[in-house]
Chain A
Amino acid sequence: GAVVSQHPSRVICKSGTSVKIECRSLDFQATTMFWYRQFPKQSLMLMATSNEGSKATYEQGVEKDKFLINHASLTLSTLTVTSAHPEDSSFYICSASRLAQDTQYFGPGTRLTVL
């Protein structure tokens, strides 16, 4: 149990376009989902925390208008990178937990390349 999927696994887009990444908890209901960004050979940096049905809480320095997060159901959260630029190229990882302070289960990640 506790499987989290992400789609797509890889995406290449042109600068200025928007990209949507989906995160799904496949076999449990996730009240809280998290979005991370991982730079090459570095650790995971939390971008935002989303609770089902409410607005996401963004970490300091993360532009909420650029990284739109929606957590519309207990099994789905989406991250939309709006007006993407090459510096947004990165590995984006989501995680999900049943309860707010419970164990987080991670998705496989999405590699975004902005040309």
Chain B
Amino acid sequence: AQSVSQHNHHVILSEAASLELGCNYSYGGTVNLFWYVQYPGQHLQLLLKYFSGDPLVKGIKGFEAEFIKSKFSFNLRKPSVQWSDTAEYFCAVNPLSRGYNKLIFGAGTRLAVHP
């Protein structure tokens, strides 16, 4: 089945550790890619997005993601996490080439950062 996979459901890190959250999708052709974050008690916020161009995308709060077309991946990275990064992170794909106009979400990764 067509899907978006986030490999880690729970990640626990200490402050200043580096973060990489995996995201793979199974849609071929042109896709728009997104990472959203949901802080405790808050709504989904856009971290970053990729539509075209440079496959290394910079987002807010020091996050970045790299689109690797050959691997169908869009992994999220941050070199040094902070306690305030504790949140749930969702990868989402809009599979344009299939004529869709909708986001397919991954299951989410819950990140806990300890001081």
Contact = CB atoms under 8 A, between A and B. Distances in A.
A101 B45 CA distance: 17
Nearest to B103: A104
A40 B90 CA distance: 15
Given A32-B101, A42-B107, A43-B106, A101 B43 contact: no
Interface residues of A, number: 19
A43 B46 CA distance: 15
Contacts, number: 42
A108 B96 contact: no
Interface of A: 32, 34, 42-46, 49, 93, 95, 100-101, 103-109
A108 B106 contact: no
Contacts of A95: 44, 103
Nearest to B107: A43
B95 to A, nearest CB: 11
Chain B interface size band reads 20 to 34
Contacts of A100: 101
Contacts of B103: 34, 44, 46, 95, 104
Given A43-B107, A103-B49, A49 B43 contact: no
Interface in B49-97: 49, 90, 94, 96
A56 to B, nearest CB: 12
28 contacts: A32-B101, A34-B103, A42-B108, A43-B90, A43-B105, A43-B106, A43-B107, A43-B108, A44-B44, A44-B90, A44-B103, A46-B102, A46-B103, A49-B102, A93-B43, A95-B103, A100-B101, A101-B32, A101-B94, A101-B101, A103-B34, A103-B46, A103-B49, A104-B103, A106-B36, A106-B44, A106-B45, A109-B43
